[in-house]
Amino acid sequence: MARSPLVSFALFWLKIGCISFGGPAAHIGLMHREVVDRHKWLDDARFSHALGFCMLLPGPEAQQLATYIGWRLHGVRGALISGSLFVLPSALLLWVLSLVYVTNGQAPAVEGIFSGLQPVVVALIVTAAWRTSSRSLRTRAAIVTAAVAFLLLTIWHVPFPVILVAAAVVGLVCPQSFGIQPADRPLAADKLPSPHRAGLIALAMWLVPVAGLALYPGGLLAQLAAFFSTTSILTFGGAYAILPYVAQVAVNNGWVSPAEMVDGLALSETTPGPLIIVLQFVGFLAAHHQPGALPPLLAGTLGALIATWTTFVPSFAWVFLGAPHIERMRRNVRLSGGLAAVSACVAGIITSLAVWFGSHVLFPKGIEAPDVFACVVCLAALAGHRLGVLPLILLGALAGLARPFLTGG
């Protein structure tokens, strides 16, 4: 019996969701190979145009790109299929890993694995900071913006939203300083049904549960819903850009420890799909640590569900509401200037994240007492960064298991 086009399309995106390892660049490359080169559903110009549009939106750009491709090929139903199935495998896998973490995290073998994974994560963030900087910092204004963002966040601990908004305003006012020029000749206008109605429904699906939880403002779940809704609006430049803000709030509120933040990022690196799924781990641990009247595992599961829902559902709304205006948005010089300034700001923020994680992992007892094992693993991961994320994660885990034999204790 032949499959329907939507069933085949769903199976395709389920496969993509299961094999999309390696971060946004790898995800986008995989989609290009499958959608453009192999299946020829879109041409290069359309794909690049869609990617540029998704980069203008807050949230995980790879998931938004999957959503946009689904909309162009099969309308709103296609968008729901592609955007959801790109995330679902990683969400389910990380939930299972979170359960294992809170029930067996103190086992010597598990502790050993994480002692090797943590310095690898630091190396991955350093590599991401370098790549982002080399791509974004091509003008003097961009370099200054990145440096100021780094100093404001690292030394003066200025809230992340303030830094992001200030950078966007600078780019909007002075787009030429960031090398922005008028866009090339536009593509032919899309002749697809407007998904505005679906966008409004997605907004309601996101905001109504948040408003419902807000009726109980003293509860942690309401706080998590409001917090992760805020991060979904502020996420530009990928998970690494928003993590300093998440770590600052989550650690200060006692939801997670710095070590748990690093562990969560390590776990999310081992799963397919968008790296920002790490927010699900933060939501799980926050609710598990402060369960109230609920069983801890149930509370953690609800916290994870809230984090995932408020992180990814808004992305559907942004795509549906913005898709009919893609050409106008892409050709707006001031909007592009704001995006360029935010990209430069993100380079400074990711560098700040590398410093924050590095200080906790490599120098847990202060700069005068480095963790020699962690430093060696981090340097080895930096030297072997071309191996890719998964091989480095595996080697780090093996090094952590072997730590007692390598260090004699």
Check pLDDT > 90 for residue 389.
no
Burial 37-67 (b: 16+ CB within 10 A, else e): eeeeebeeebbebbbbbbbbbbbbbbbbbbb
Residue type, 329: M
pLDDT at 184: 53
Structure tokens at 383: 């030297």
- Quickly state the pLDDT bin for 186 (edges 50, 70, 90): low
| AA letter at 189 | A
Q: 192: exposed, middle or buried (C-beta count within 10 Å: 0-12, 13-18, 19+)?
A: exposed
Place 205 in a pLDDT band, splitting at 50, 70 and 90: very high
Of 24, 12, 14, 16, nearest to 274 by C-alpha is: 24
What percent of the chain is modeled with pLDDT above 90?
59
Helix (H/G/I), strand (E/B), else coil: 274: coil
Alpha-carbon distance of 305 to 293, in angstroms, equals: 18
Q: Are 56 and 339 in contact (CB under 8 A)?
A: yes
Task: Tell the burial category of 89 from Cβ atoms under 10 Å away from its Cβ (0-12, 13-18, 19+).
Answer: buried
CA distance 16 to 14: 5
- What distance in Å separates the CA atoms of residue 405 and residue 397, rounded to the nearest whole number? 14
pLDDT band of residue 107 (cuts 50, 70, 90) is confident
Query: Which residue carries 């430049």 as its tokens?
Result: 237
- Spatial separation of the C-alpha atoms in residues 302 and 13, rounded to whole Å: 26
DSSP one-letter code for 36: I
Question: Residue 167: which residues within 8 A CB-CB, separation 6 or more?
Answer: 145, 149, 341, 342, 344, 345
Average pLDDT over residues 299-317: 96
Contacts of 184 (CB under 8 A, 6+ apart): none
Q: Which of 129, 132, 136 is nearest to 382 (CA)?
A: 129
Axis crossing angle, helix 296-322 with helix 61-104, rounded to the nearest 10: 180
Question: What's the confidence (pLDDT) of residue 190?
Answer: 58
- One DSSP character per residue, 86-149 reads HHHHHHHHHHHHHHHHHHHTTSHHHHHHHHHHHHHHHHHHHHHHHHHHHHH--SHHHHHHHHHH
- Region for residue 237 given its phi and psi (left: phi exceeds 0; alpha: psi -120 to 50; beta: otherwise): left
- Of 219, 222, 240, the residue nearest 132 (C-alpha): 240
Helix crossing, 389-401 with 372-383: angle to 10°?
150
* Distance of alpha carbon 36 from alpha carbon 349, whole angstroms: 33
Mean pLDDT of 341-350: 89
Place of tokens 């200037």: 337
Report the C-alpha gap between 326 and 123 in whole angstroms. 36
Tell me: the pLDDT tens digits for 6-57? 899 999 999 999 988 877 878 888 999 999 999 999 888 788 778 878 877 8
Please report the sign of the dihedral spanned by the C-alpha atoms of residue 305, residue 101, residue 357, residue 265. negative
Kindly tell me if the per-residue pLDDT of 187 is higher than 70: no
- In this prediction, residue 2 has a pLDDT band, given cuts at 50, 70 and 90, of very low
Name which residue leads in pLDDT, 4 or 69. Answer: 69
More confident residue, 55 or 113: 113
What is the per-residue pLDDT across 26-37, written as a single tens digit (0 to 9) for each?
Answer: 888 899 999 999
Indicate the DSSP class of residue 292. Answer: T
Predicted confidence at residue 185, as pLDDT, reads: 54
- Radius of gyration, CA atoms only, the chain: 21
How do residues 210-265 score in pLDDT, each as one tens digit?
A: 999 988 767 899 999 999 999 999 888 778 888 889 998 999 999 999 999 999 99
Burial class (CB in 10 A: 0-12, 13-18, 19+), 83: buried
What's the token pair of residue 281?
């781990």
**Any idea what DSSP says for residue 363?**
-
Please say if the pLDDT value at position 171 is more than 70: yes
Mean pLDDT of the chain: 89
pLDDT at 188 over 60: no
